[in-house]
Amino acid sequence: MKVAVVGATGLVGTLMLKVLEERNFPVTELIPVASEKSVGKTVVFKGAEYKITGMAEAVAMKPQLAIFSAGGGTSLEWAPKFAEAGTTVVDNSSAWRMDPDKKLIIPEINASVLTKNDKVIANPNCSTIQMLVVLAPLHKKYQIKRVVVSTYQSVTGTGVKAVNQMENERNNIEGEKAYPYRIDKNCIPQCDVFTDNGYTKEELKLTNETKKILDPAIDVTATAVRVPVTGGHSEAVNIEFEKDFEISEIRQLLSNAPGVNLQDYIQENIYPMPLFANGKDDVFVGRIRKDFSREKCLNLWIVADNLRKGAATNAVQIGEYLIKNGLV
């Protein structure tokens, strides 16, 4: 199994290599790929050093699988070239997510729709992934009508530059800024750029991707906020169902749901937090309670490591599914 990791030197790309190693992914030949300025440098995988190659060279090597985390522009240009060479691409950018001809996949929910003909497969947005891993089993039983979600998103979602900005601010160091405002000791109610309707692209991703993955009939409205933490994204989610429910049933459903870790023990002050989600692949859910202001409505709190399940791990899990089912 010849595997290319495109964007291998970035925050998510580096983690993809780590996740491939941790999960003992069947890599027989690794092709780390990055921008021209990184070509010739090395990365370490399973104790061995691998030289970084350029895009054209990697395409010519015809890997069976290429996992991309190199930005939308790069994906739009190069994913089709890999696909033409027979490579199956799993892309972590937003480039292909809403393309009607491309599948948008969370393995716990809809990997079964994949076929050998799917040569470019999209990884959903990090905030969408963690929310839908929890919502999917609930929708199956109670049919979700509407979701109101507020996200509290880690600076790691923006990248190394944002992490450096926060650390510099904490140490009173002047440096390069990823955000137009101070992030330490602050919350910025803007993730990604604003669109004409007043929502940011990040907020619209939660709406559009939920409809594509789970059900086009579900209404979703979102507010996405950047907060000065590392370790993971948090989400306060209010769900309105068609059918009524018991909290005990909800807990039972989620405790058995794939990829979900129930942390809902308020008597012991146990609930999900980025501090504990950091470095883990599960999606954590807690603070589960009925919304007493409306019928058939539920409140819960969801946390996951946005770089792992929200990006690298989900992409690797798609690769695992493809291999297990003979699709690559």
Residue 175 has pLDDT above 90, yes or no: yes
233 is a catalytic site residue: yes
When the pLDDT of each residue in the chain is averaged and rounded to a whole number, the result is 97
Q: Does domain 2-124+311-324 have CATH number 3.40.50.720?
A: yes
139 is a catalytic site residue: no
Mean pLDDT of 138-150: 98
> Which of the residues 139, 187, 191, 233 is marked catalytic?
233
pLDDT digits over 250-287, tens only?
A: 999 999 999 999 999 999 999 999 999 999 999 999 99
pLDDT at 129: 98
**DSSP 3-state of 47:** coil
Shared fold status for 2-124+311-324 and 127-305:
no
Which sequence spans correspond to the domains of the chain? 2-124+311-324, 127-305
Q: Are 184 and 171 in contact (CB under 8 A)?
A: no
The number of CA neighbours under 13 Å toward the Cβ of 311 is: 28
Residue 31 has pLDDT above 90, yes or no: yes
Closest CA to 76 of 66, 91, 60, 63: 91
DSSP annotation string for 121-181: EEPPPHHHHHHHHHHHHHHHHH-EEEEEEEEEE-GGGT-HHHHHHHHHHHTT-----SSSS
Confidence bin at 104 (pLDDT 50/70/90): very high
219 residue type, one letter? D
pLDDT at 36: 87
pLDDT digits over 187-246, tens only?
A: 999 999 999 999 999 999 999 999 999 999 999 999 999 999 999 999 999 999 999 999
Segment (H or E) for 109: helix 107-110
Q: Which CATH class is domain 127-305?
A: alpha beta
